[in-house]
Amino acid sequence: MLNDERGLYLAISALVVAVLSYCRKYRLNLSRPPLPPGPIPLPVLGNVLSLDSARPWLTFNAWRSTYGDIIYARLLGKPIIVVNSEEVAKDLFERRSSIYSDRPQSIVYEAFASDFNTGFMPYGNRWRLHRRIFHQAFHQTAVPAYHATLLRSAHKMMFGLLRDPENYPNHSLMFPLTYMLSIIYDCETTAKDKHVANAITRYGKLIVEGFAPAAMTLMETFPFLLQLPSWFPGATFKRASLKCIQAGHDVKEIPFQYVKERMSANDMGPCLVADALNRTSEEDDVTITAIKEAASVAFTVSPGLRLPIIISLPLTQTTNTLLVFLLAMVLNPEVQAKAQAEIDRVVGKDRLPNFDDRPALPYLEAILRETLRWYPVVPFGIPHATTTSDIYNGYFIPEGPTLSLSLMYLNNEPFRAMTHDATKYPSPDEFKPERFFQDDGTLNSDTMRLGFGWGRRICVGRHLVDASLWIAMANFLAFFSVHKALDEHGMEIPIAPKFTTGFTVFEESHLSQRVVC
């Protein structure tokens, strides 16, 4: 009897709490400003059925014309906020960066050895430590220390192109891999150092295989799939996860031990890991772990990469930008010729360009900016999330990790909408480096940093990327040209630019281009 009374009492209490909490939520909903406008969601599915999954930017563009620059939608129960203009992006990610610098989390990050990736990490102390390590190595005034390495890597790419011009996408992949291995681990891509490169390649391969976007959605929807024992029939995700975790451990440890051993043998040149270790006490385990993790981030991979060789995401982005540059050159031979004439005038024909030539080559500078504008290769950016709720322009922006306030859904077409905003960039689809010049013939102040994100999560590698792309483009144009390939009758094969969809885009029309010296 006593038990029954207690049970009844508990049930009534639970009911009262539930009703009160519902009323509180209801009152709060009534008293708070409205959510941003957006399409009406279906129960459970949200707006997922109206989304073009292969080309979500088409849906976002359609929504944009109806709902404006900031849109609220739900995808399978997950709220997302689509930011559709540069102005709103700056307001939120820069002016209110203390609120909008988190990242949405997923249970698959840890299961697929991606939780140590700075780009996916929640806003907090571990992320701050990573950013500090990157900042020390890659801030604007640190980058000239890498000029010699970048130049050497560009020359290596040129030798590759000279020997084997057909294979230029591959040489464009090797270029960032060569300089990054050197800058981070003082390691060459030679046979002697193969175990470092092998650990990186194995990690990349396993992540790309195991971390496909469809599998990721399945695991997020049914997290128990990751709890199954690995021997369980059909537990493929679990087995893939275990392999990735091992490879994730190796990709941090093997290159790190390589640096430590060479430091002990006094056989180490300057590099990110050695420099960071020299600044750190041996007992500071937290920082040492962060050094291992941050160093390997340059070699981390994302879902959906479709490339001839799997290297990392940051390096792939550099390669993809170079391939966009080559596409722009083959489609705009007059731009290529004008840049080559500038290089011939400033550098002459007896040597190759180096970084000292940069201020005297404004047209090449404009080509670099126009390449970043014409086709940004990280069309979705990386999603941001809020740490607290906010009110923006009269709209309520909810708090919480499920709020994916994201460049992700902002970009590709919307992001291209920013870089293709006809009021800022007239005739936006045309490749016109001239748009970056002022009436007096000098370059304007628009350095196209738009493609590297905003605020506290802005790309840490942007200054290095800028220097590496410039030196690669300068050396390429000084020595090579890219033209349309010829068919068996000697006629030019027309080029139809084709880009992969996904997190990072890869230009695929290279089969109808040829590089000549």
User: Quick one: which of 376, 366, 301 has its CA closest to 339?
Assistant: 366
User: Quick one: which of 411, 335, 408 has its CA closest to 375?
Assistant: 411
> Using CB under 6 A, which of the segments 26-34, 192-200, 374-382, 423-431 binds ligand HEM?
374-382
Q: What is the DSSP letter of 493?
A: P
381 near ligand HEM, judged by CB under 6 A: yes
154 near ligand HEM, judged by CB under 6 A: no
Q: Which residue is it, tokens 């890659």?
A: 138
197 near ligand HEM, judged by CB under 6 A: no
235 near ligand HEM, judged by CB under 6 A: no
Q: What is the footprint of ligand HEM within residues 276-305 (CB under 6 A)? A: 297-298
> Using CB under 6 A, which of the segments 36-44, 200-208, 279-287, 310-318 binds ligand HEM?
310-318
379 near ligand HEM, judged by CB under 6 A: no
Q: How far is the CB of 401 from ligand HEM (least distance, A)?
A: 15
104 near ligand HEM, judged by CB under 6 A: no
373 near ligand HEM, judged by CB under 6 A: no
Q: Alpha-carbon distance 59 to 54, whole Å?
A: 10
Q: What is the DSSP letter of 443?
A: B
382 near ligand HEM, judged by CB under 6 A: yes
Q: Which is nearer to ligand HEM, 50 or 97 (CB)?
A: 97
Q: Alpha-carbon distance 138 to 132, whole Å?
A: 10
Binding residue (CB under 6 A) for ligand HEM from 60, 452, 470, 480: 452
CB neighbourhood size of 199 (10 A): 21
Binding residue (CB under 6 A) for ligand HEM from 259, 378, 397, 478: 378
Binding residue (CB under 6 A) for ligand HEM from 271, 459, 471, 478: 459
Q: Which is nearer to ligand HEM, 116 or 452 (CB)?
A: 452
Q: Which residues of 397-412 are buried (b: 16+ CB within 10 A; e: fewer)?
A: bbeeeebbbbbbbbbb
Q: Would you put residue 394 in left (φ > 0), alpha (ψ -120 to 50) or beta?
A: left
Q: Which is nearer to ligand HEM, 48 or 142 (CB)?
A: 142
Q: Which is nearer to ligand HEM, 201 or 318 (CB)?
A: 318
Q: Which is nearer to ligand HEM, 254 or 382 (CB)?
A: 382
Q: Bridge-partner residues for 492, per DSSP?
A: 486
How many residues contact ligand HEM, by CB under 6 A? Answer: 26
User: Quick one: which of 384, 377, 455 has its CA closest to 412?
Assistant: 377
Q: Show the tokens assigned to 440.
A: 């007096």
Q: How far apart are the first and last CA of the chain?
A: 95
Q: How far is the CB of 464 from ligand HEM (least distance, A)?
A: 6
Can you say how many angstroms the Cα of residue 355 is from the centroid of all Cα atoms in its chain?
26
Q: Show the tokens assigned to 475.
A: 């050396």
> Using CB under 6 A, which of the segments 167-175, 276-284, 314-322, 482-490 binds ligand HEM?
314-322
Q: How far is the CB of 298 from ligand HEM (least distance, A)?
A: 4
Q: How far is the CB of 378 from ligand HEM (least distance, A)?
A: 4
User: Quick one: which of 80, 127, 82 has its CA closest to 101?
Assistant: 127
User: Quick one: which of 365, 336, 334, 355 has its CA closest to 441?
Assistant: 365
User: Quick one: which of 60, 113, 104 has its CA closest to 83?
Assistant: 60
Concatenate the DSSP letters of all residues of 58-125 into one string. Answer: HHHHHHHHHH-SEEEEEETTEEEEEE--HHHHIIIIIITTTTS-B----HHHHHTT-TT-GGGSPSSH
Q: How far is the CB of 320 from ligand HEM (least distance, A)?
A: 7
Q: Which is nearer to ligand HEM, 127 or 237 (CB)?
A: 127
Binding residue (CB under 6 A) for ligand HEM from 84, 321, 475, 513: 321
Q: Which is nearer to ligand HEM, 215 or 305 (CB)?
A: 305
Q: How far is the CB of 218 from ligand HEM (least distance, A)?
A: 26
Q: Alpha-carbon distance 407 to 414, whole Å?
A: 9
157 near ligand HEM, judged by CB under 6 A: no
Q: Is 459 annotated as a binding residue?
A: yes
Q: How many residues does the chain have?
A: 517
Q: Between β-strands 400-406 and 78-83, what pairing exists: parallel, antiparallel or unpaired?
A: parallel
Q: What is the Cα gyration radius of the chain?
A: 25
Q: Which is nearer to ligand HEM, 319 or 340 (CB)?
A: 319
> Using CB under 6 A, which of the segments 45-53, 228-236, 246-254, 380-388 binds ligand HEM?
380-388
460 near ligand HEM, judged by CB under 6 A: yes
Is 481 strand, coil or helix? Answer: strand
Q: What is the footprint of ligand HEM within residues 111-150 (CB under 6 A)? A: 118-119, 131
The percent helix, strand, coil of the chain (3-state, each to 5) is: 55, 10, 35
Binding residue (CB under 6 A) for ligand HEM from 46, 204, 433, 451: 451
174 near ligand HEM, judged by CB under 6 A: no
Q: Find out whether 127 and 118 touch, Cβ atoms under 8 Å.
A: yes
Q: Bridge-partner residues for 406, per DSSP?
A: 82, 383
Q: How far is the CB of 262 from ligand HEM (least distance, A)?
A: 21
Q: Which is nearer to ligand HEM, 80 or 465 (CB)?
A: 465
435 near ligand HEM, judged by CB under 6 A: no
Q: Show the tokens assigned to 235.
A: 């537990």
Binding residues for heme are: 459
Q: Tell me the binding residues.
A: 459
Which residues in this chain contact ligand HEM in the complex, by CB under 6 A? 118-119, 131, 297-298, 314, 317-318, 321, 377-378, 381-382, 384, 407, 451-454, 457-461, 464-465
